[in-house]
Amino acid sequence: MGKTSKRKVAWAKRKVRVRRKVRGTSERPRLCVFRSLNNIYVQIIDDEQGNTLAAASSLPQELSGHEGHRGNLETAKKVGAAIAAKAQAKGIKQVVFDRNGFLYHGRVKALAEAAREAGLDF
C-alpha cells in the first residue's frame, strides 16, 4: 500500500467517524467543507430533506483574484465570508460544522473562522 492510499484510507476513516456524529436539520443545517489541492468547496446541507441550501467555492475568479492555484488561506477566508453571506440571505443563522474528515487546521480553520466573523453561528 502506497503512501497516498494510506492517507486516503485514514481520511475516509476520519470522515465516517465525523459523519456518525454530525447531522444537519432544517433548523440547523450542516456546513460541509471539501478541500482539494487547488480549491476549497463548502455547502450548507439539510440532511432531513437531502437538499443543498447554499454553496460556495474558490472556483469563481472574483473570489480568488487569480488563475491557477487557489488553495491558500486568503481564498479560504473569502469563501468562508461568501458562504456566510449566502446563508444569511436565505435566513440561515446557525449551522453544524462538518470538517469532512479534514483536520481543523490551515485552510479549513481559516474558512470556519471567516464564516463565524461574517455572522454564522456554530
What's the confidence (pLDDT) of residue 31? 97
What's the confidence (pLDDT) of residue 84? 97
Among all chains, which residue has been given the C-alpha cell 474558490?
58
- Domain residue spans of the chain: 3-117
What's the confidence (pLDDT) of residue 65? 64
What's the confidence (pLDDT) of residue 3? 74
20-28's contacts with Cβ under 8 Å and 24+ in sequence apart are 22/96, 22/97, 22/98, 23/47, 23/96, 24/48, 24/95, 24/96, 24/98, 27/94, 28/94, 28/95, 28/96
What's the confidence (pLDDT) of residue 41? 96
Nearest partner of 52 among 87, 21, 16, judged by Cα: 87
Quickly count: other Cβ atoms within 10 Å of residue 79's Cβ.
28
Three-state secondary structure call for residue 14: helix
What's the confidence (pLDDT) of residue 104? 95
* Spatial separation of the C-alpha atoms in residues 89 and 6, rounded to whole Å: 41
What's the confidence (pLDDT) of residue 100? 93
Positions of the chain with pLDDT under 50: none
Q: Per CATH, which fold does 3-117 belong to? A: Nucleotidyltransferase; domain 5 (3.30.420)
What's the confidence (pLDDT) of residue 114? 98
Single-letter code of the amino acid located at 7: R
